[in-house]
Amino acid sequence: MAAAGPPVAARQVLHGVLWILGTGAQGGLLRDSVDILLDVASRETPRIQECHILIGHVLCEIVEHDLFA
């Protein structure tokens, strides 16, 4: 029997963890292995990175608002 790939093995070890992945337009090799896929509709690395940074800032703002407002 073949060994499980990294995503499968990681999910077995980290059972119950919410998996979020940020990718570009194609979704990457792990797109079917995550709970939430944040795929940016671009193939240009700088645009993808800019969008992921923006998403991170928005998520932090939401958490800060919920914790301290």
Structure pTM? Answer: 0.71
Helix (H) or strand (E) run with residue 5 in it: none
Q: Where are the domains of the chain?
A: 17-68
The pLDDT tens digits of the residues spanning 15-65 come to 778 888 899 998 888 888 888 999 999 999 999 999 999 999 999 999 999
DSSP state of 51: H
**Amino acid letter at 42?**
S
Helix (H) or strand (E) run with residue 28 in it: none
- CA 33 – CA 59 distance, rounded (Å): 22
